Amino acid sequence: MALNQLSNDTNAPESSKGTSANRRMWDLTWKLPVQNKIKNFIWRCLRGFISSKKRLQCKGLTIDSICDHCGAAEEDLEHLFFKCPRAQICWKISGLQWNKITDHPNFSFAEWWSNICNDSSLPAMTDRISLSTYLMWWLWKTRNNWLFNKEKCSEVEVVRRATHDWNEFTDVGLQVPTTIIDKMSNNMTPLEEFFPRVGQISISASALPSLDGCVVFAAVAKSEDLTLLEWNESYMYEGDELGKTLCLVRWILEKAIQAGWSDILCKITKKGLAKQLKRRQNFSWKIHTVAEDIYSLANLLSSCEFADDVP
């Protein structure tokens, strides 16, 4: 179906049909720097063409509408993307926090999408919206792989695939989340599953710019598929990407120590940084203090290793 048909669809959300807000929503949707398949996917979501279990049941199919991932609620679009614990972990790992999701849990997808499109006055918002579309695409795609092929994909891998696809398509210097992950093996490719050894804590973290100019650090700690702790904090930071990544590493080590953990393996997506940290290398004076903090915190742990994790 041609993309230019979207703005004329008669099923547009009633609250904004024919208004400037609705026109702005569609205008931003088509101009997003994402693949056409992603735009088409969002259109299908807005028009109710995504075959969630609840949707199929409402169309007369005799099926169990309970979510296969959590088993706690019916699988509609809002549950699949926002309310399911699996989706919530993915949003936290990615660092993409949308207040209109958490503050208004009964929002429909169409209402949420219209609101974020009409709040997108800052360039950073376009990046956040674009990455969000890839995250939802991969939530849907991996849901189908699990439902039909029994192929499991961890939350960390969902986020990794989404950020990889987004960054690969844009191919410009956009802000891509930095992820710190515990892994069992260093030999896995970016699209392979990984599972920490028994008893090992897996910490996934990211740093993304917020609308108020701060940097949002978000992390989820898991052990054997059980979520242990979640953190989310905002910081004022005006330095470069390397400094931001070092601040994220320091923050994770602080959280790990506060939680009482002692054996940490930090997998860092910024190429070459792990090697620098392992060598206890000195950095420029602007970020030297942060690096020294990392080394001091590492000394408080019984084991603290750093390794590259470049997607």
Q: List the single range of 9-13, 53-57, 306-310 with lowest mean pLDDT.
A: 9-13
pLDDT tens for 247-280 read: 888 888 888 888 888 777 777 767 788 888 988 8
pLDDT of residue 61: 84
Q: Cα torsion for 128, 129, 130, 136, to the nearest 10°?
A: 110
pLDDT of residue 134: 95
Is pLDDT of 187 > 50?
no
Contacts of 215 (CB under 8 A, 6+ apart): 207, 208, 209, 234, 235, 236, 237, 244, 247
**Assigned token pair, 275:** 């090697």
21-31 mean pLDDT = 78
Cβ(262)–Cβ(301) below 8 Å? yes
Whole-angstrom distance, CA of residue 35 vs CA of residue 130:
10
Is pLDDT of 11 > 50?
no
Type of residue found at 299 = N
Is pLDDT of 135 > 70?
yes
| DSSP bridge partners of 220 | 204, 230
Cβ(84)–Cβ(90) below 8 Å? no
Is pLDDT of 123 > 70?
no
Where in the chain are all domains bearing CATH 3.30.420.10?
A: 178-311
Type of residue found at 16 = S
Task: Please give the residue that has the higher pLDDT: either 146 or 210.
Answer: 146
Type of residue found at 272 = G
Q: What is the CATH number of domain 178-311?
A: 3.30.420.10
